[in-house]
Structure 1
């Protein structure tokens, strides 16, 4: 749910979304830190006794990020790095108890990756349930994953504070090893380190503009796509893509067997790259598609188009039963239409209907973000040496290729902004 910003968006957010810290035990013994609006990492020096007290500070300070300690301290205002000797411990704060904290995430940010992490969360919760552990809360981190926090009811019955902290660390290491044996991926440093801080539920994650948000068990049992739109966020929040393509697309055999989608009528999700050259007035990169045509025939057409329309190098892809082609040369709409008519591209109707052409470059995924068809595979480069220095090419589409592991050749004439337009879509197959 976005918000309309008339002044500072963080101030508006914290006015409209008061903190509820009821899931955090022993609040007055927790240590709090913030990232200021200027990017400084600062301690909150006062003890925080209740939600209202912290909420007032957030309205005043308007921090970009807010964190709290996974441990409780005898004096949380003196917390520092853990000392290696007992004499240093009193200065750095004595740990009383430590929550069993898990941070699960996956790079880069996408619904598909979040769905993979959600499934790991479910496995982790089942594992901890079997051990009889007491769940405090589950939270979407506001970015690439989830936090799962348990209460350590047993604690460590050692009077010496230094030895007690060392014993907690030993127990946590044993637990992490058992979890890894289950094939569950976690950030073990968060679980093991008693001096860690973790993002505070109800506060904004500055990387995305989404709030770190408490989730119910019912929500964590459902696909991410079912509830992600309900997460509170700033109006300037990023758009979380459905998925991200592999860093390097594989080169496939030119005559490899085509991958076909099972012909069932269901909703699937994918992403298209468009021909629009952002930062220019009505110019397009040349994107073409050819369905159910022989590869050699398409290549002959493309070579003729290079000669007739002085196109720059053409990057050729396979996507399911389609052959797709991208020339980075930018052209006006009328010229683009002629190129499509000449080549017999199946994209011709798109340009007349929508004013742009879109190629499906991402995988097809179902509602649980499981891949049912691979992304487009780069298979061939048709070189056009003579045209490289004579034509303007799209900066954004150069970036698109580079982002997906396909380095383009050097082009001296580049225009448009260094960004490209992607479109997420639901389609029936």
Structure 2
């Protein structure tokens, strides 16, 4: 059993990892459960987001998946018998030997193991070929979104593409044949949506602006908001990242300026605008921004909308009634963002370390046939350009930004020890022989 923590993207990684662990231990897997987090405040469970029957059937050649524990095990006090294991008891990036040595004996003795808060608790290397392949099959094939999410996402993609709507090869994998056909069906659009999309280009850029308060607070960076900002972020850290808050008081950390020069601060909306403009995205570009709770709110987004008047979010493109089923379910809303970003003609991220950006870029590599460009900035290089020039001519700035981005755009084979979700170019994932 597993109860995964975090948001939808962390949970997705946890599910893929637990599938591999179950195969490694030759154990049946109970349909994963998701933990209610005080950060994400979403009670969604696996079946609210992913198709359970498809998940069970697709992986049936590899592992046995059941919906609940056998009756004779349901009455056991798993904590009492030592079958509940938390992240504290399972090291990060644990290798297969750890599970065989420490976990298998508990399973054999008690017949059941429950991992609570399970996340990145399985190493990428060394891992046997078949287990790595199973990890990829789970991520890229077994986890299909439920029809309700697929259908709403199809409306979103159609309105993003506007009058030039078409079904791209990636759409079929994201939405399935039935929902992807909705991209071409305009009968259900309201006059408001038709007016908003009729004159737009069929192409759009998706931008994952990872600038929510949790990211901003955890970075320990400073974003120009003075004492008010510092108090607000300190308060947030105390509530949601208590161990980090305690460390900042006991240990001297690098200054905010040093963190920024080392590329450890998330790009602000202002910096994202400069990057996109330098890359040649003009005012006519339709920009879809993933996520809605940008730190600083509409004031912070104003700089984006002033340069890109065709900037939209899912809240702007979907009607209130279309969004209503997803209200108060942040993971399900994030699934809509995932699909819109993966289906985009170009995808730009502001933080390459975020789970959504990593999973989306990997999905575009796996299914994109080398034709799905992803803009992945080197924040250290960008900070050098932005901070060390009090004055700089636009053409010089433009040239330097393009050079910095060009050096990160290549799709490499997966480096040893790196995520197969982000770097699927390896024989375990993409070789069909």
Name the TM-score class by shorter chain: under 0.3
Q: Which has the larger radius of gyration?
A: 1
TM-score with structure 1 setting the length: 0.24
Bigger relative contact order (CA 8 A; separation at least 6): 2
TM-score normalized by the length of structure 2: 0.24
Q: Which has more strand, going by share of residues?
A: 1
